[in-house]
Amino acid sequence: MHGEIAVAALPLTKEWVVLMLTRLRGNTTAGGQWRVRPKLNAVGKGWCYYPAGETETKGKIMNKKMMLLLGAIALTGCAVNADSDRSAVAQQTKVCTPINEVAVAELFERWNSSLQTGVPRTVVNNYAERSILLPTLSGVNRITRAEKEDYFKHFLESKPQGAVTSRQIDIGCNMAVDSGMYTFRMGATGATVRARYTFTYKWAGQDWLISSHHSSLLPTD
């Protein structure tokens, strides 16, 4: 190759290659030209840089060591930039499943209705596989499905029926947060339990499921 540096198919800026030429050759590249070469190896059209005073058919033969070093650096930059490009494409193609505040409120009603079945497994079906329950009447965090079922086994014995008294809903991409206060009337005893809550929901591919549920008794003061 005569006096040219080909950078086809490499996601590098022209300025970067000019800078590398300046450092490796120990001279200035002022006055050089960028041209589009129709065929560059088997890759196709690409950019070529011709230092000042050199053309495609006439010029100095590039030093082999310089070419090898520049090629190695260019390939490294290509790999790094390729990963960045794939990440950018993944972010651009992310699809957000639509949901509104009414639908988020209905997710609580679905959970509350499952309490009326008295079946722990049915209640736990509202929770994502990777989720956490910080329950109202237990100091033990429930992470696994078995741990959640164990909590609801005892909680459902009181025949609870919940009602939201105040709430705030926030919606993001494939997630929603419902926070506020609810009151449980325990059918087995007639007692009333007031508590604060936060449900975090996520789109699990086919349905909206609970990813985290925090519930705590309302302080008396």
- Cα 22–chain centre separation: 40
The mean pLDDT value for 94-101 works out to 95
The mean pLDDT value for 160-179 works out to 98
The mean pLDDT value for 179-194 works out to 96
Q: What is the pLDDT of residue 42?
A: 43
Q: Are strands 127-134 and 208-217 parallel, antiparallel or unpaired?
A: parallel
- Between residues 213 and 82, the one the model is more confident about: 213
The mean pLDDT value for 61-80 works out to 52
- Between residues 86 and 155, the one the model is more confident about: 155
Q: What is the pLDDT of residue 61?
A: 45
The answer to whether residue 202 scores a pLDDT higher than 80 is: yes
Q: What is the pLDDT of residue 93?
A: 79
Q: What is the pLDDT of residue 220?
A: 78
- For residue 57, CA distances in Å to 1, 60, 61, 70 come to 9, 10, 11, 21
The answer to whether residue 60 scores a pLDDT higher than 70 is: no
Q: What is the pLDDT of residue 170?
A: 98
- Between residues 215 and 35, the one the model is more confident about: 215
The mean pLDDT value for 205-221 works out to 93
- Between residues 93 and 192, the one the model is more confident about: 192
Amino acid of residue 68? L
The mean pLDDT value for 121-146 works out to 96
Band of residue 219 on the pLDDT scale cut at 50, 70, 90: confident
Q: Give whichever of 17-31, 58-72, 163-177 has the largest mean pLDDT.
A: 163-177
Q: In what order do the strands lie in the sheet with 175-186?
A: 127-134, 208-217, 192-203, 175-186, 160-172
Q: For residue range 5-57, what is the model confidence (pLDDT) as tens digits?
A: 444 444 455 565 556 655 555 544 445 554 444 444 444 444 454 455 544 44
User: Among the listed ranges 30-39, 93-102, 176-185, 212-221, which one has the minimum average pLDDT value?
Assistant: 30-39
DSSP assigned state of 35: E
Q: What is the pLDDT of residue 104?
A: 98
User: Among the listed ranges 66-70, 122-126, 183-187, 199-203, which one has the minimum average pLDDT value?
Assistant: 66-70
Going by C-alpha positions, the residue among 44, 33, 49, 45 that lies closest to residue 1 is 49
DSSP assigned state of 137: S
The pTM score is: 0.60
- Domains of the chain in sequence order: 5-92 (no CATH), 101-217 (3.10.450.50)
